[in-house]
Structure 1
Amino acid sequence: MTRIDRRFAKLAAEGRAAFVPYVMAGDPDRETSLEIIRGLPAAGADLIEFGLPFTDPMADGPAVQLAGQRALEAGMTLQGTLDLVRALRETDDETPVVIMGYYNPIYSMGVETFLAEAKSAGVDGLIVVDLPPEEDDELCLPAKAAGLNFIRLATPTTDDRRLPKVLSNTSGFVYYVSITGITGAAEATAAAVAPEVARIKSQGGLPVCVGFGIKTPERASEIAKVADGVVVGSAIVERIGAGQSPAEVLAFVKSLADAAHNAKG
């Protein structure tokens, strides 16, 4: 079992949903980013998604695009992202870490080198948004062989014909994108999400985390009632982009985590 598997088993036994914050690695600079990242577990993060900065982030909305630009301008790289994971592991060896991004930087490093470095750094899972199931030989299957979870996205347009393909070789959890479009767009609603979560779980059996369109503690609580996990990204990186201190950002994260954790209580 990976850290991700163990964490979801623990949460299921406790009867509560996971809270999963997304932060762009190196945003707005390495030192500030590391301070925030190291504070996330104490603020209630059950898993952490590290965004991998990339120059052409086609699935990201304005807030996450700007976060990536800030990180790139501050010198963040794929190797630097892995070094941040290593730095987190100096103080936390339990919280699962997922790298979310695009294939190009991984391809440029070399898949074999990347997987060895990621495993050594303490990465537990990958979300690579521009690699469909038809390309599993590129990274998904090698990642699984290296002991990393490969987490796939499902969307409102993933119909029953497509879903089995999406779920094939997926492990750890399924990331359900609650709205069509880019990150940071419309708000997710439990009424729309609940039947989709049930449909995905009935076919795959994996935990389902819901992201996109969750911006407030109230919405996090609502979604946590019907999902195995709640992912919040844009609302967090917007605060980083606005210049809030790490303490302020972490206080907001805690408000989201508390709402998600208490939703099923």
Structure 2
Amino acid sequence: MTRIDDTFARLQSEGRKAFVAYVMAGDPDYDRSLEIVKGLPGAGVDIIELGLPFTDPMADGPTIQLAGQRALEGGMTLQKTLDLARAFRETDSTTPIVMMGYYNPIYSRGVDTFLRDAAEAGIDGLIVVDLPPEEDDELCIPAQKAGLNFIRLATPTTDDKRLPKVLENTSGFVYYVSITGITGSAEAQAGDVAPEITRIKASTDLPVIVGFGIRTPEAAESMAAVADGAVVGSAIVGKIAEGRPAAEVLDYVASLAAGAHRA
């Protein structure tokens, strides 16, 4: 059982849905990023998605691309991302952290070294968007053996033929991408998402969380109502990009979390 498994078991026993927040590690700088990450649990966040900055984030929209660029320009690295997670763990031993990013920095570090360091830093799961299930031997299977969940994305184009392969080695939860396209590109509609969640849940016992296109407490509530929880990323990153104080960013996160928890 990982922290992710424990969190979903607790939420289920409480009859509550999960709220997951994404932030880019090191955006706009290390210290402010750490301040925001440390404040997320108090704002109602159940699981933290911590973005790993990368130079070619092909699946991300402009908001998250720019966040990664700011972080990289500020000197953020894979090592410093792990350091940030380790610093978070000094005061929080229960909130799960999922590192989300691309394979190149992990490959460059060496898979075995990365997995050892990530587990030691307190990372609980991975979302690596450019590794398809056909490449599970590269990272997914080793990660599971190292005690980290490997979370896979399903999308509106993941048909019934493809879905079993996507779910085969997934653990922790399934991240359903509610719209086609890049992050932050459109608003999702719960009426369109609900049948897809039902279809996925017919094939897995894992929780299914909905992300992409959620910007308001009302949208978080409507999405969480048809799934096991909601993820917000670009909207939060956008507040950080505006230079809002950490307290203001966290107030916004708290409003989103409250919406998801009402579902």
The alignment status of 1:260 with 2:240, answered yes or no, reads no
Query: Counterparts of 2:190 and 2:9 in 1: how far apart (Å)?
Result: 23
Counterparts of 1:33 and 1:222 in 2: how far apart (Å)? 29
Q: How does 1:81-92 map to 2 (within 5 A)?
A: 81-92=81-92
Aligned to 1:133: 133
SS in 2 for 1:127: strand
Q: Which structure 2 segments of 5+ residues have no match? A: none
User: 1:205: Cα distance to partner?
Assistant: 1.2
Matched, 1:47 2:47: yes
Tell me the TM-score normalised to structure 1 length: 0.99
Moved over 2 A (4+): none
Matches within 5 A, 1:72-151: 72-151=72-151
Distance 2:101 2:159 in 1: 24
The equivalent of 1:245 in structure 2 is: 245
One-letter code aligned to 2:45: A
CA distance in 2, matches of 1:221, 1:262: 6
In the other structure, the counterpart of 1:180 is 180
Alignment partners' CA distance in 2, 1:111 and 1:70? 26
For 1:184-223, list aligned pairs within 5 A: 184-223=184-223
Please, which runs of 5 or more residues in structure 1 have no aligned partner?
none
Residue 245 of structure 1: how far off its partner (Å): 0.5
| Structure 1 residues 151-162: aligned runs within 5 Å | 151-162=151-162
- CA deviations 1:81-136 (Å, max 9, x no partner) are 01110000001000000000000000000000000000000000000000000000
Cα displacement (A) at 1:52: 0.4
CA drift at 1:180: 0.1
The residue type equivalent to 1:177 in the other structure is V
Structure 1 residue 227 corresponds to structure 2 residue 220: no
**Identical amino acids, percent of aligned pairs:** 74
Letter paired with 1:50: L
Deviation at 1:42, TM superposition (A): 0.3
For the residue of structure 1 that corresponds to 2:19, the secondary structure is strand
Structure 2 distance, partners of 1:238, 1:169, is 33
Q: Which aligned pairs between 1:10-29 and structure 2 lie closer than 5 A?
A: 10-29=10-29
Whichever residue aligns with residue 65 of structure 1, its letter is Q
Q: CA deviation at 1:15?
A: 1.2
- 1:215-234 Cα offsets, whole Å, 9 max, x none, are 11110011011111100000
Partner Cα separation in structure 2 for residue 85 and residue 47 of structure 1: 13
Q: What is the rounded CA distance, in whole Å, between the counterparts of 1:144 and 1:224 in structure 2?
A: 27
CA distance in 2, matches of 1:185, 1:215: 11
Cα RMSD for the two superposed structures: 0.5
Deviation of 1:213 (Å): 0.5
Deviation at 1:256, TM superposition (A): 0.2
Cα distance in 2 for partners of 1:42, 1:210 equals 22
Cα distance in 2 between the residues matched to 1:95 and 1:184: 25
Q: TM-score, normalised by structure 2?
A: 0.99
Tell me how far 1:204 sits from its aligned partner: 1.2
Q: Cα offset for 1:262?
A: 1.2
3-state SS in 1 of match to 2:72: helix
Q: For 1:114-172, what per-residue CA distance to the aligned partner results, in whole angstroms no more than 9, with x for missing partners?
A: 00000000000000000000000000000000000000000000000000000011000
